[in-house]
Chains A and B, each alone.
Chain A
Amino acid sequence: MTATTLAKEAGSAPVASAGRARRTRRRGRIIAVLFVLPALLLLGALVVYPVVFSVGRSFFDASGTRFVGGDNYTEMFRDPATLKAIRNTTIWVVVAPALLTGLGLILAVLVEKVRWATAFKLLLFMPMAVSFLAAGIIFRLAYDEDPDKGVLNAAVVSVHDAFAGTSSYPTARAREGQGLIHGADGSYRTGTGVSPGDSVTLGLVGVLPKDLPAGAGPAYAAAGRSAAPDEVRGVVYLDFTPGGGGRQGEVDRRESGLPEMKVEAVRDGRTVASTTTASDGSFRFPGLASGAYTVELPESNFAPPYQGVSWLGRTLVTPAIIGAYLWIWTGFAMVLIGAGLSTLPRDALEAARMDGANEWQIFRRITVPLLAPVLTVVFVTLVINVMKVFDLVYIIAPGPVQEDATVLATQMWLVSFGGGNNQGLGSALGVLLLLLVIPAMVFNVRRFRRSQR
């Protein structure tokens, strides 16, 4: 500012010699440099020097004393963890900013139309006030796979169980080599042909005494009864004497029957009779035609409880963390876009309405195109932000899947400080990250310049 004023004054004096004008201009330039100097120094010390240092450091080995040329860079691309980090960062950059901008736009437009707009905005903006660390810990808990701990799986499991129901003996199984054949679908059936007049004992294990249905009684008496000539009868019992000592494969006195177990008589692959065991585990199929049958305990008795979704498993961990990121940043996108929205020329919208455009058309043809500059700014800012995401990934991903969730920023930290202690390789990763961010930066700066002109 000062420089321009001085230059103008110099130019306005018609009698001034060329030499004087030059001197004044030089003085002006010196003053300008003096004014810029503090900023330049700060920028140099805080930005340029570290960048140059990192680039230099990336050509040295872990100890920092031996020059290794491009070895860190080749090593970087040979390491499968880095490749995963690049892949994940790409997923983040492609998915998160677009989703956020879209969500922010939709919310901003909708919030404008409700009565309690400010309250809504405040509510949606609130996660921004939560630190990434705290948000990470919250989501780590929310995503926990154990339905007793993770709220998301608790919801998923209760919805699922409301429709599908649960089996009564999820943990029960037969000992191997004791007559029961384990079907591929999870059912158990007798191997030998059973004919009317036979009685069978089906021994299972793996049920805690406290998990038995109320009223379950000893199976010993029922196992002793013999079958009428036209019926097949038997017991399904828990082949385990509490405290040990029972004989395997035989119904001991203290062994309990397994009530409410579905039993089927199968002949030639067709279920001909089906029943449920009584409280002592006994069952009978009366009135069977003679022939060879198989007694089967269908799979529905044993279906394992639904475990919910493995949010933090290998496949879902990155989408899950992006979800947490959305929770934090949606408010930001919405508020920025909302600000842009409030400056839109109302007359254009009014005109469109007068011409009979519906709300969707207005949104598509007028709001979005007019908002495009704001949307771009939000989008690019988010791209840069997403590139350096670290805390959420580091906190939410459990140890076993950390490598599957890793992004460039976490990888850089892990390699340099988190055990790897190879700051040379870490610097190389930092340089890679820098190269990836630069295009977005340049784009933003150029846009900024254009809008100033």
Chain B
Amino acid sequence: MKRGTLVLVGVLTLLLASAVALAQTDYENVDPTGQTITFWHQHTLDRETALKDIVDAFNASNPYNITVKAEYQGGYNDIFRKMLPVLDTADAPNIVVAYQNQSATYALGNGVVDLRPLVDSAKWGLSAADKADFFPGFFQADVFPSFGGARYGFPPNRSMEVMYYNIDWLKELRAAGKIDFDGPPANPEQFQQAACAATQSRYSKATTSGSIGYELSIDASRFASWTFAFGGNIFDDSANRFTYDTPAAVQAMTFLQGLFDQGCASIVTENYGDQTDFGAGRTLFTVGSSSGLPFYKSAVDEGAKFDWSVAAIPHTTPEPVMNIYGASVSIPTGHSAEANLASWIFIKYYTSPTVQAQWAKASEYFPVRQSVAAELSDYFDAHPAYKTAFDLLPYGIAEPPVPGYDFVRDEIASDMAAIMDGAPVEDTLKTANATANEILADQLKALPKN
């Protein structure tokens, strides 16, 4: 393509984009009738079946004769790869599952629709009561500070980082006088006490040799969770920059490093090796996604068979602060206003309380609305650990929705590994934070200017 043509196309795109921006308020008069909507997702097995049921019900019942076609397109990363070449073209799907940093990348290519006009539309949007029904952390997670507060996604489900703990083992430790509290540790001191005690005194029913208090999996989300629990954050929304070197982060990492120095914690040395060791009664604590609940259940049921549950990450803050995450659904550009509206109508249906209850039960994710609790009581009875975690959802906050976050995550995971190997915390985090902000600045250079 010639340079001139490119410039021309660029200018036209900008004009078009601003025209769309101006026309955004006009969803009131758009007619979604008869649209066919494609929905790219990553769900397989039981979740795919459940999603299909939801889609079928929507197709049969919606008054606009909208037809949704849900299509499996591989895992999150596969979907991301598939999206890149079709951004802002008619080949893009109408709805796509995307993590926040992925939709931020799409936004770099003008590839995703700002949902604010739809969510706030008087005719099609959500009422104030509806909005308030969403868990605030969930609702806020898809608002992108780097893009002027645009909303590039909407949450149909979430997971949360929780602490898994072995109830029976804790009781044993308590009975032996090795710890001085009941129930799960509420703060880092108790966590440390129990972790070190467990390292010393093996769980009586353990099915393997060895014993350790806490198995830490190296991951940027673990970093975020512990920093949240120490009252900090890894990102400053108002300044639009990473804050990996704040006192809370330093304290959190110093605390974990201390556990390693004392021999009370070790690094998970296999994919999901912490689940294995938890199930075998080898480790007292692990921290990980709530989406692991069914896997932990299988691990324990066919392992050391003990009583276990989940709890908030031990925190120094008065209330727990929990790390919630999960992919949202976004509406890619490249389609008519009618199609976008139809997509939103489906998303609205998908996130309505009754459907959310159905989806939560089948998918084992958390629903995004507080009122769903009423419809889940049977499920709560059958899955007490899920219920415990559910009660923590109001305390959830999210990791930052910025482009390039995957790359930052790799850097942070590296630095975290280095700290657990004994690197000085403050210096390491200072460098890490500088790198993270460089990466972010580098990403934002590509921000569309309109």
User: Are both chains from one complex?
Assistant: no
Write the residues of chain B forming the contact surface with A, with a CB cutoff of 8 angstroms. Answer: none
